[in-house]
Amino acid sequence: MKEEKARKPAQQENNDDDDGLLKQFMIVVMTLRLKEEKMIQNSSSQKKRNKIKTQLTTT
């Protein structure tokens, strides 16, 4: 009985650490997704600019 009680607080600390790591991981994942989205938007707007430049130079 005593051993089980002694183990439970340690398990609780591990769970807290895991929650903290999970939160950090989720923040990293969301940050990367936002950066990727921004890069996609930038590349599509760059394509639009290039298209407009080509239209201006050909006319």
Residues 36-49 pLDDT 10s: 999 888 888 888 88
Radius of gyration from C-alpha coordinates of the chain: 26
Q: What is the count of structural domains for the chain?
A: 1
In the block, residue with structure tokens 């407009």: 52
Cα distance between residue 5 and residue 12, in whole Å: 11
1 DSSP 8-state letter: -
Q: What is the pLDDT of residues 12-32, one digit of tens each?
A: 666 778 888 999 999 999 999
Q: What is the pLDDT of residue 31?
A: 95
Distance of CA 34 to the CA centre of its chain: 7
Give residue 22's domain range: 1-59
